[in-house]
Amino acid sequence: MDDFPKVLCGWSWEENKLFELALAVVDEQDRNRWEVVAAMVGGNKSAEDVQKHYVTLLEDLQIIESGKLDHKLGETQPCVEVDSQSICWSDDDNTLLVRLDIN
């Protein structure tokens, strides 16, 4: 793994948001997880595309958490510990989730 985050090309803001929401609702143990996530993201994203996107995000997170990312990304904000089990949805998140057809 490189020491620098990968550029996530080819993903629009909306696709990334749908990807995020799909990961929140699709069970990690689902045998068809990546197919379901791809269907929820829509567009031309395949199961392989969404799985690669997920792996890239995990790798980037490891780099950030390890301290290897040594530049500032704008103004720093104080960190607040959040209960990871609680999810706050914005109106935009809710609208996107309602648009998803998981049947």
3-state secondary structure of 85: coil
DSSP per-residue codes, 19-73? HHHHHHHS-TT-TTHHHHHHHHH-TT--HHHHHHHHHHHHHHHHHHHHT---S--
Q: Return the higher-pLDDT residue of 5 and 66.
A: 66
pLDDT tens-digit series, residues 33-80: 999 999 999 989 999 999 999 999 999 889 888 877 665 555 455 555
Q: Which domains does the chain have, with CATH numbers?
A: 13-99 (1.10.10.60)
What is the Cα Rg of the chain in Å?
15
- 55 backbone φψ class: left, alpha, beta (φ>0; ψ -120 to 50): alpha
Burial class (CB in 10 A: 0-12, 13-18, 19+), 78: exposed
DSSP-assigned letter for residue 84? T
Taking the C-alpha atoms of residue 15 and residue 41, their distance in angstroms, rounded to an integer, is 6
pTM metric for this prediction:
0.59
